[in-house]
Copies of this chain bind each other. A is one copy, B any other.
Amino acid sequence: MIDNDVFKALADPTRRTIFEKLAAGSMNASALREGMDISQPAMSQHLSVLRNANLVREERKGRFVNYEVNPEGLAQIAGWLAKYRAYWPARIDALRALLKEMDQ
């Protein structure tokens, strides 16, 4: 099951922070570390997990590696969530509307 990687990847708060940073704008691994009190290998390992979960993708830029959000992972979560549409509370009707709109 592929969902597994996505949820596992997001189960770690540090990885969610990294993802959030990337969502605000792509950047390389060193830039990501700024203000995060995390070692270089740890960051590299986290990025590897996020990449495997299709939450993030990389692009070599010379000696840097630029990381950016990969919508694929988000789509997987949306897909999982959609299965339980029946239980979505009114409060997130906007989300449902958006999915429906895309479905047309």
Contacts and interface: CB of A to CB of B under 8 A. Distances in A.
Given A99-B95, A102-B92, A81 B78 contact: yes
Contacts of A76: 98
Given A1-B13, A23-B83, A75 B95 contact: yes
Determine how many copies of this chain the complex contains.
Answer: 2
Interface residues of A, number: 41
A10 interface: yes
Nearest first, the 10 A-B pairs at minimum CB distance are: A79-B98, A71-B91, A11-B11, A78-B92, A7-B10, A75-B94, A8-B11, A7-B11, A71-B89, A71-B87
Interface of A: 1, 3-4, 7-8, 10-11, 13, 16, 20, 23, 69, 71-72, 74-79, 81-92, 94-96, 98-103
